[in-house]
Structure 1
Amino acid sequence: MMMNDKIALVTGAASGIGRATAIAFAREGAQLVISDVDKQKLRDTAELVREAGAEVLDLKADISSEQQIKRMVAETVDRFGQLDFACNNAGIEGEQGITSECTSDNWSKVIDINLQGTWLCMKYEIAEMLKGGGGAIVNISSIAGLIGFPGIPAYVSSKHGINGLTKTAALEYAGQGIRVNAICPGAIQTPMIDRFVGEETEERQNLVAQHPMGRMGRPEEVAEAVVWLCSEKASFVTGQTLAVDGGYMAQ
């Protein structure tokens, strides 16, 4: 229970990594604010968080909207009085298609949600953390933010942007008590990966085979890394892009 009396905000918390992260924070004693565009699944996450022993506020929010993000952070502080940790996890994979076939609509939607949305979350989260004397932010990026992946140019660009944004913010606020890091998951068993490669396909098997551990990761394995990066156990860690990828990037 190393996070008693701390307040954590998790976006994209209706399923997958976001849900697992909210539960992991709750088990360490934090109180939670969770958000997503899927209100029903978000309520399911809220119930799981309560079962883990935490108070939780669930808010429907679209992170492509600055006003909704501003309201989300304001309601967090109104409810709990502070903001200590944030996991900016919400994102989409977009449509598949090589660079010359990527549509303007797909490009704009992916960048608006993944990159601009992460920046806007940080913009308002940091402002509140400065008032409270510090905090920790973890942005969920991807191994696609470290290398190229053919067929998803908008997604790859958005995740590379998140990594650059993470490093920049870490430098800007290192002296003011705010640490900013990113996690770059490999293939994790989530609804997004099911949409990307299907549930029982050769493409899925090939993706798994590219991971030296020979399996996909679990959302809980990413969640534990998020909690560690936010904790005092990682007090000298900032500006890092941590690959949680079963050895993918070591090849």
Structure 2
Amino acid sequence: MRVLITAGASGIGFAMGEAFAAAGYDVWVTDVDGVALAECPATWTTRLVDAANEAQMRGLFEEITSAGGLDVACANAGIAGPTARVEDVAWEDWKICVDITLGAAFLTAKFAAPLLKAAGAGAIILTSSTAGVFGYPNRAPYSAAKWGVIGLMKTLAMELGPFGIRANAICPGAVEGPRMDGVLQREAAAKGMTRDAVYDGYASGTSMRTFVRAQDIANMAVFLASEGAARVSGQVISVDGHTENPDPKP
């Protein structure tokens, strides 16, 4: 079995790679960070590919086809985008965030679909966000892109279901790690709060009063790819400790 994970050299993507490898998959990961790719396990196939670049993705999937095809595609690439009130978001920043976060998911699905159709089975797992369920103040581009990922997933489930292919979206909440640390710092600056106050606000906005781990997201991805989820498709599944308040405050 072969899995492709975009943005797989760090964070959630790396945790997915570890979890799929432990489940017996041949792991392929892409990333734009060559240094991080070089630190991935030697047993993984790594490629320096921009998941939002059509030509690069076409070349990648030609290579995957030559290697024997694909069983699971994890569309995980995306960026945080700016933290600002909607009237202060630059048009260029909006376009960059949406083009990368939604565009990379589209290209992954576009090129994975023919391979999975040929196999008559498979799964596409898209990384959305709780921001794609609730919306999020001061994160308009990111939230809109992640809502778009869910709309894409719902369409994929309907289009590809007759071919035995399932599509689902995982919505992480606040995930421990360097990326979320950057979000916390930017949000603290935008709101005139301390970083710790924003952190506490995120945690207290969940019923479990906690952030989640990248491994929690990865475990869900492996389940969604498994026979245990053979009839699970078109679903938006949050792994977030149950978000109660999408606008964290101190």
TM-score, structure 2 normalization: 0.91
Q: Deviations over 1:119-151 (max 9, x none)?
A: 111000111111122210100000000011110
Stretches of structure 1 that go unaligned for 5 or more consecutive residues are 1-5
Q: Deviations over 1:12-41 (max 9, x none)?
A: 112111000001000010001100000111
8 Å contact kept, 1:111–1:158: yes
Which contiguous aligned blocks of 4+ residues in structure 1 show a shift greater than 6 angstroms? none
> What is the aligned partner in structure 2 of residue 180 from structure 1?
167
Query: Which of residues 203, 210, 218 in structure 1 aligns to 2:213?
Result: 218
Amino acid at match of 1:27: A
Amino acid at match of 1:31: D
Amino acid at match of 1:72: L
Query: Which of residues 76, 81, 84 in structure 1 aligns to 2:64?
Result: 76
Query: Which of residues 219, 238, 247 in structure 1 aligns to 2:242?
Result: 247
Give, in angstroms, the shift of residue 200 of structure 1. 5.0
Amino acid at match of 2:101: N
Stretches of structure 2 that go unaligned for 5 or more consecutive residues are 186-193
8 Å contact kept, 1:243–1:249: no
8 Å contact kept, 1:17–1:190: no
- Secondary structure at the aligned position of 2:166 is classed as strand
- Secondary structure at the aligned position of 2:77 is classed as coil
Give, in angstroms, the shift of residue 250 of structure 1. 9.1
Q: Deviations over 1:47-79 (max 9, x none)?
A: 1xx5xxxx4210011122101111122222223
8 Å contact kept, 2:12–2:214: yes
State which drifts further: 211-220 or 196-205.
Answer: 196-205
Work out whether 1:232 is the aligned partner of 2:227.
yes
> What is the aligned partner in structure 2 of residue 3 from structure 1?
none
8 Å contact kept, 2:207–2:244: no
Distance 1:242 1:249 in 2: 15
Amino acid at match of 1:191: P
Change (3 A) 1:218 1:159: same
Distance 1:67 1:119 in 2: 13
Work out whether 1:97 is the aligned partner of 2:92.
no
> What is the aligned partner in structure 1 of residue 124 from structure 2?
137
Give matches, 1:45-124, under 5 Å.
Answer: 45=40, 47=41, 50=42, 55-79=43-67, 81-124=68-111
Work out whether 1:14 is the aligned partner of 2:2.
no
Query: Which of residues 30, 37, 47 in structure 2 aligns to 1:35?
Result: 30
Q: Aligned pair count? A: 238
Q: Percent identity?
A: 34
Q: Deviations over 1:90-127 (max 9, x none)?
A: 11001111111111111110111010111111000111
Distance 1:75 1:112 in 2: 24
Distance 1:208 1:44 in 2: 31
Distance 2:124 2:85 in 1: 32
Instruction: Tell me the C-alpha RMSD between the 2 structures.
Output: 1.5
Change (3 A) 1:234 1:249: farther
Distance 1:23 1:89 in 2: 14
